[in-house]
Amino acid sequence: MATLAVVVGALGLLGAAPAAQAGAVWPTDDPFYTPPADLAALPNGSVIRSRKTRIKTGPAIQQPFKTYQVLYRSTDRLEKPIANVATIIMPLTSPKTGRKLISYQTAYDGLSPTCMPSYSLASGKVALQAAETLIIDGALARGWTVVTADYEGPDNAWLTAKTTGRGVLDGIRAAENFEPVGLDGAKTQVGMLGYSGGGQATAWASEMQPAYAPELNIVGATQGGVAANMGEVLKYMDGQLFAGIALAGLAGVSTGYPELNFDKYLNNKGRRTFKYLRKKQSCITDFALAYPFTKIRSLTTVPDLLNVPEFKAVADELSLGKVNPKHPMFMYHTVFDQMGGYKAMVKLVRKYCAEGTQVQFVTGYNEEHAMQAFSMPFKAQAWMADRFAGKPVATNCDKYPAL
C-alpha cells in the first residue's frame, strides 16, 4: 500500500486547507464522538446523533456531494456497547425510490484517530484515503448512496474481527435508519466493497451477517487482497520488507484482545518498539516501511510468538472460513502479493464454493498488492451493478474444485 500512498500523496500539495468544518476536528477533541450515557439501552445500528459534513480529495479539494456523519451504536468483541461514526454520502442524482446502498470499507488499517474515515475523509489529510475518495466517486456516479464506517471502533482495535464485522453491519443499519438519505430500511439492496484492510472488514462482515444482521438485504460483496489465514500471512510478512505492517497489526490485536497481556511477551526492545507504534498516531502508510526486515522474535522473550497457544487461538479467530456468506462474492487476489496469502485465498474460495456460496474469483498475474488497488475496484463495482440489476452470477467454482 505504500506505492499507493506515493502516487496520491501529491494531492495534498494542491493548496492550503480551508477552515475546519464538522468532521475535521481531531476526534478526541470533538464532542460529536462522545457516546451517550444510555448507550447500552439502544439497539445496534441506532443513530445517536448526526451532522452535515463534506469529504475531500486532499486538503484543498472539497467534493460536491451532500454528506452526513452519524454516531451509531455497535458492539465490540467483548460484547460491550460502543459508539462508532459512519460517513454517509449521497450521489448528485438518485431515484426517488429503490435507492441502492454501498457499504465501502476503506483500508484505514490504523492505530490512531487520524486514520478513522470520519476524520480523514473530512480533513483530506491522509493520502491513502484521498485516493479512496476516487473509488467512492465511482460508486456515487452510478447513483448509489455510500456509507463508510469507522469499523475499528473508538479504540482503533485494528485486526479485531468481531468488532470490525459488527461495526460494518451496524454502519449499514445506521444508514438505513437515517431518514434524510431516503433509503427503504431493511428492504434496501446493499452491496459491500473493500480492498486490503477494507476487504478484510468486508470479508468478516460477510461471514458474520447471517447470524448478526440477518435482516439486511445484502445482494453481493467484493473483497480483494485479503488475509484468509491470518497466522500464515503474519508469518509470511515476518522479517520481510513490510514487516512494520505485521508489527502494527500485532499492536492492534493487543488493543482488541487485552486479555492476552501482550506486553508480558516483549523484551526491552519490543517494549520500546510497541510503545512507539502506539504513541505515533500512525496509519498503514506510516509504518509500512518503518521496520523493514524486522523479525518478531527479535522483540519477544519467546522464540515464536505465533506458536504461543493464546496467540494461535486469536489468529484462528481472525481467519476466514468459519461461516459461508449467504450472498454472492466477487473475490480477487494477486499471486505476487507482497503480503502473501494467495494459496490461503484459493483454499477459502474452494470452501465457499463447496458449501454453496456463489463465487467469482479473479487471479492477478501481472501486478502486486498496491497495483491491484487501482486495477480491480471499478471492475468490482461493475460486478456489483449486475447484482443490483438481478443478473445471474458468473461463477467460476468449477476452476477451483474442493480439495
Per-residue pLDDT at 110: 87
- pLDDT profile of the chain (403 residues), mean per 10: 32 29 77 97 98 85 93 97 98 92 94 91 78 92 98 95 98 98 97 96 98 98 95 92 91 93 95 87 81 95 93 95 97 90 94 96 88 88 98 92 65
Residue 212 buriedness (CB in 10 A; 0-12 / 13-18 / 19+) = middle
Cell (9 digits) for 183? 433509503
The Cα–Cα gap between 223 and 196 comes to 8
Domain ranges of the chain: 2-227+325-399, 230-317
% of the chain residues with pLDDT over 70: 93
The class (CATH top level) of 230-317 is: mainly alpha
Decide if 2-227+325-399 and 230-317 have a common fold.
Answer: no
Answer for the pair 199, 224: CB distance below 8 angstroms, yes or no.
yes
Distance from the Cα of residue 87 to its chain's centroid: 14
CATH number of this structure's domain 2-227+325-399: 3.40.50.1820
What pLDDT is stored for residue 7 in this prediction? 30
